[in-house]
Structure 1
């Protein structure tokens, strides 16, 4: 399991910055509860707090190249968490900034000029869901069983009484379609699937 891998100081962030999804899963498992607990202190609704927590890790992965310059991760993560929590509170209360952001400076890993950088986790997930809804019925069913329910290809084949080769074909075609539909948001599909996989691993 990823959580059992031992990383030297600085190695974990460097690996993530280079696109190592196993290293990111390790970081997710290590810090998810800590981040969620901090968010939950201010956001009393569990579902909303989970969304904000997912959003934080989603942003970290999308902007992973910047992790190579982070010297002290935990204080950095605290600032990211605080910023995202304040942003979430603003949305929930439907109130303007009120000058809050002036006292909590935005940090580089939360900013991007790309279309993906302008989306939060919930918005991105909705984009993906709309694209999934356009898949043919059986392909959509197979994809959801794999990526959203966390079933193996063998389990899907058994439940649907189809071959593993057919499952593989459905997954491959679905991913190709989704990458095309989300081409305007480079990296979005892989980021969403990675975060979803990390989340499934916690259940």
Structure 2
């Protein structure tokens, strides 16, 4: 297939230079990535970038230099991405042995009971205080927006949220 590409003519002199020197570009990328298959991917990415790039009218030597630099930069980016992925990933077998904190039935029961206590505590609050707390803590609505909606000052909203939080903490300790 590479021979088929090199015998065809491209619209752009830069793309034609790319097609004519494809095997050299793959070798350059392979030296950086350490893998011919990944190098092919890098060269393909370079081709797509070049085909979308504006026409460059410069000497043949400058075009080749530009092609080599693009492939080199893409190969380095690909290598860095691969190195980062290897640093933060593990094998599938490692993932099977990960211990999930608080995954025991007892911990799940305790967590659900705590949530029930907090829900009960929220029900004990005045409606406006509960609304301000839920909008701020659960839905991320800014306090100034809650204040506008309730027709109160942002300072009062801040105090309502604080009071609700204190009430929830007290009731979760008692439960």
TM over 0.5: no
Give the TM-score taking structure 1 as reference length: 0.34
Give the TM-score taking structure 2 as reference length: 0.39
Greater RCO (Cα-Cα under 8 Å, separation 6 or more): 1
Please identify the structure whose Cα radius of gyration is greater: 2
